[in-house]
């Protein structure tokens, strides 16, 4: 059963408790280069979650919206399927965890992630990848992720993904202010973090052109066919190799015999 | 013949070109040391928006494809038995071996935990295309080193020469099978970039395009290499042989073009060609320079002319480099939302790898029977 979090952006006041809790729990440093709040808030190697501020106009007035960003924890994670050492892996709880000791630092996960979540320690001599791991050790102890547990306005609800989806649909149906879309229900094949909003998601920096087909599906089909096709190709090569070899040999022998008989006639 | 080469002294002639290559290599070594000490952020222009940059595009993607001349000529000569191509075999396969060794160095410099490079052997990420690429490239490099053993033991450790001769057929078949797989898989790495890579380049059959282009760039590479080698070593391959090789490449190239156009039509993306944005211009330029002009040269009377064959080779190679840079860099720019240009140090390190490769190639050709009989006459 996948665990997930339902984020109701209409409730967020941008206080920043969540990123403070995240920094404390994961022992990440604060960085001047990558702010965790404001309009320039940016996920980075030390920022596993940030709260980004958006000025939007609604019914001819300006309004503020705050968007908490972190890993979406996909149902079919591209990063884990891209990882060639299984350093990134999806657990039974639906959490995408990362073990840096297995990582080679190739960054294919960063290229593959449809949400551009994994970040890299560019400033270090021996850098690794970093990202939100949904406070995995809290999750397996039946605790909420630290960001969820500290939120004063109950923006986030933690639970089983299926139940969260039911709850999300209830909220959308009972209140016309919501956009009729649960971000994360189908994006990239579905994510365990689900978002509700009263402002179109495109205006809040969400990628809205993400295919519902998980990218991992392309590679899993490719990878399942590769060994068979490779072996078949090897057999074909061997076959042609020997056929052509004996053809050449026979042709050469015939030529020699022809030469011999010609030579005999002449003599 | 074997005696001749073993009596000859080890030599490495110093020429102005070689001095320049040595200078570039030394500059590269200094920057490589700097990169290993300080990390990737300072030396390169890569960042979180651009996790893959010039090194992956050029050192790895172009390096492996351009080294495709090895498996392509091996296939034509040893499997299809087109005997007249034999004079180019050793040169092409040596270039390929050096190419792969450089790709390995390039990869090690690009990854963060380079001392962890062996991890995939024990911690299998078998869902990853990169896992297959890694295994195949490693295996193929080993196979190529063994294949080179046949040449090497003509001079050093001669008693093992017969052993290497015996295992050659098996090595050659494995050495064609494996690169076919990973040439395709390098393209398959980008299957996941649906929606990220610009639709002109992304395709559900992008692996086929990578495989086919790595095959037809083989003849092009051989042509360029043989024109260079004829200057350096006075070793000339007959124009007729080169023409035949180029024509074979040309047919694959033609098929590539047809499939590419059909693929764009089938996906409903052919309209992107006339968008008039930077991607559409680059795509058209890539196809015209790297495919259409070479095709015209290849299937016209121009193919009888050595100089035009060299033009074919250069354009095809450039077209391939263009294509790989477009897939890794240009085609990803719109999604990244920022621009990426390689840092000068990134480019110098890449160039130094090429320079080191060229020096090794020159050394081997001077000291081992790679380029055929004429070389020996020249060397003596």
Those of residues 132-171 in A touching chain B at CB distance below 8 A are none
Q: Which of A185, A213, A241 is the last residue of a domain?
A: A213
CA-based nearest distance B181→chain A, Å: 6
Q: What is the span of the domain harbouring residue A250? A: 215-267
A165 with A248, same domain: the answer is: no
A85 with A143, same domain: the answer is: yes
A161 with A94, same domain: the answer is: yes
Q: Is residue B6 part of a domain?
A: no
Q: Minimal CA–CA distance to A230: which of B179, B214, B80, B177?
A: B177
Question: B125–A86: do the CB atoms touch at under 8 Å?
Answer: yes
A266 with A186, same domain: the answer is: no
CATH number reported for the structural domain that contains residue B265 in this entry: 1.20.1630.10
CB A48 within 8 A of CB A26: yes
Residues of B in contact with A87 (CB under 8 A): 119, 123, 125
* Number of CB atoms found within 10 A of residue A56's CB: 14
Q: Please state whether beta strands A3-8 and A96-98 pair in parallel, antiparallel, or not at all (unpaired).
A: unpaired
Question: A219–B127: do the CB atoms touch at under 8 Å?
Answer: yes
Q: Is residue B375 part of a domain?
A: no
Q: What are the DSSP calls for B61-77, one per residue?
A: IIHHHHTTHHHHHHIII
Q: In this predicted model, what pLDDT tens digit does every residue of B318-362 receive, in sequence order?
A: 999 999 999 999 999 999 989 999 999 999 999 999 999 999 999
Q: Does A50 touch chain B (CB under 8 A)?
A: no
Q: Is the pLDDT of residue B1 over 50?
A: no
pLDDT at residue A256, as a whole number = 84
Q: Does A46 touch chain B (CB under 8 A)?
A: no
Q: Is the pLDDT of residue B2 over 60?
A: no
ipTM computed for the complex: 0.90
Q: In this predicted model, what pLDDT tens digit does every residue of A68-113 receive, in sequence order?
A: 999 999 999 999 999 999 999 999 999 999 999 999 999 999 999 9
Question: A83–B117: do the CB atoms touch at under 8 Å?
Answer: no
A255 with A149, same domain: the answer is: no
- Residue A6 is inside which H or E element, if any? strand A3-8
pLDDT at residue B87, as a whole number = 82
A89 with A160, same domain: the answer is: yes
Q: In this predicted model, what pLDDT tens digit does every residue of A10-61 receive, in sequence order?
A: 999 999 999 999 999 999 999 888 999 999 999 999 999 999 999 998 778 8
Q: Is the pLDDT of residue A242 over 60?
A: yes
Residues of A in contact with B38 (CB under 8 A): 125
A193 vs A190: CA distance, rounded Å: 9
CATH number reported for the structural domain that contains residue A50 in this entry: 3.30.70.20
A195 vs A177: CA distance, rounded Å: 14
A39 with A91, same domain: the answer is: yes
Q: Is residue B280 part of a domain?
A: yes
A43 with A142, same domain: the answer is: yes
B65 vs A15: CA distance, rounded Å: 52
Q: How many structural domains is chain B composed of? A: 1
Q: Which of B47, B113, B193 is nearest residue A103 as measured by Cβ atoms?
A: B113
Q: How many structural domains is chain A composed of? A: 2
Beta bridge partners of A193: A5
Q: Is the pLDDT of residue B375 over 50?
A: no
A96 with A45, same domain: the answer is: yes
A182 with A82, same domain: the answer is: yes
Grade residue A262 by pLDDT with cuts at 50, 70 and 90: low
A207 with A236, same domain: the answer is: no
A130 with A173, same domain: the answer is: yes
Q: Is the pLDDT of residue A255 over 90?
A: no
Q: Is residue B155 part of a domain?
A: yes
B59 vs B159: CA distance, rounded Å: 37
Grade residue B4 by pLDDT with cuts at 50, 70 and 90: low
Contacts of B76 (CB under 8 A, 6+ apart): B82, B85, B245, B248
Q: What is the span of the domain harbouring residue B149? A: 20-370
């Amino acid at each position: 059963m996948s665990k997930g979090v339902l984020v109701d952006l209409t409730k967020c006041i941008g206080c920043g408790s969540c990123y403070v809790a995240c920094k404390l729990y994961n022992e990440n440093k604060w960085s001047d280069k990558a702010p965790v709040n404001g309009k320039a808030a940016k996920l980075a190697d030390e920022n596993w979650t940030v709260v980004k501020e958006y000025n939007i106009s609604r019914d001819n007035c300006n309004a503020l919206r705050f968007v908490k960003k972190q890993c979406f924890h996909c149902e079919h994670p591209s990063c884990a399927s891209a990882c060639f050492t299984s350093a990134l892996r999806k657990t039974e709880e639906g959490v995408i965890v990362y073990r840096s000791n297995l990582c080679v630092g190739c960054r294919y996960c960063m290229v593959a992630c449809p949400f551009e979540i994994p970040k890299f320690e560019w400033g270090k001599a021996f850098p690794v990848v970093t990202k939100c791991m949904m406070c995995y050790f809290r999750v397996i102890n039946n605790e909420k992720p630290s960001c969820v547990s500290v939120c004063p306005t109950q923006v986030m609800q933690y639970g089983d993904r299926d139940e969260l989806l039911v709850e999300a649909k209830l909220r959308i149906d009972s209140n016309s202010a919501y956009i009729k879309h649960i971000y994360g229900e189908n994006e990239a094949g579905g994510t365990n973090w689900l978002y509700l909003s009263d402002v179109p998601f495109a205006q809040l920096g969400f990628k809205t052109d993400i295919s519902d087909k998980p990218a991992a599906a392309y590679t899993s089909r490719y990878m399942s066919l590769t060994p068979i096709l490779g072996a078949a190709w090897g057999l074909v090569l061997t076959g042609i190799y020997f056929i052509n070899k004996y053809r050449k040999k026979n042709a050469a022998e015939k030529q020699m015999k022809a030469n011999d008989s010609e030579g005999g006639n002449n003599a | 013949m074997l005696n001749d080469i073993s009596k000859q002294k080890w030599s490495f002639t110093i020429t102005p070109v070689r001095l320049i290559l040595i200078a570039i290599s030394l500059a590269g070594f200094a920057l490589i040391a700097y990169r290993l000490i300080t990390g990737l952020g300072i030396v390169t222009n890569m960042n979180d928006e651009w996790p893959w940059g010039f090194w992956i595009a050029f050192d790895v993607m172009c390096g492996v494809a351009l080294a495709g001349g090895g498996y392509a000529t091996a296939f034509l000569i040893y499997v299809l038995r087109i005997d007249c191509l034999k004079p180019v075999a050793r040169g092409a396969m040596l270039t390929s071996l050096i190419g792969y060794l450089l790709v390995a160095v390039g990869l090690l410099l690009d990854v963060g935990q380079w001392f962890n490079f062996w991890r995939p052997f024990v911690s299998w990420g078998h869902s990853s295309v990169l896992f297959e690429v890694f295994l195949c490239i490693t295996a193929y490099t080993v196979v190529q080193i063994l294949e080179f053993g046949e040449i090497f033991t003509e001079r050093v450790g001669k008693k093992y020469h017969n052993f290497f001769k015996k295992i050659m057929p098996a090595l050659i078949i494995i050495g064609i099978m494996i690169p076919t797989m990973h040439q395709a898989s390098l393209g398959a790495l980008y299957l996941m970039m649906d929606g990220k890579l610009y639709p002109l380049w992304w395709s559900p059959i992008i692996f086929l395009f990578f495989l086919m282009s790595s095959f037809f760039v083989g003849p092009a590479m051989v042509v360029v290499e043989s024109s260079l080698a004829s200057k350096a070593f006075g070793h000339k391959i007959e124009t007729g042989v080169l023409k035949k090789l180029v024509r074979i490449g040309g047919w694959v190239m033609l098929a590539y073009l047809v499939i590419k156009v059909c693929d764009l039509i089938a996906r409903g993306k052919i309209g992107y060609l006339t968008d008039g944005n930077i991607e559409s211009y680059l795509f058209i330029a890539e196809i015209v320079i790297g495919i259409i002009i070479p095709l015209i040269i290849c299937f016209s009377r121009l193919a009888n002319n050595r100089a035009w064959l060299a033009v074919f080779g250069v354009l095809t190679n450039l077209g391939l480099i263009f294509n790989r840079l477009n897939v890794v860099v240009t085609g990803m720019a719109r999604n990244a939302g920022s621009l990426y240009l390689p840092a000068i140090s990134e480019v110098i390190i890449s160039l130094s790898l090429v320079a080191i490769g060229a020096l090794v190639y020159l050394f081997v050709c001077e000291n081992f029977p790679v380029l055929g009989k004429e070389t020996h006459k020249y060397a003596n």
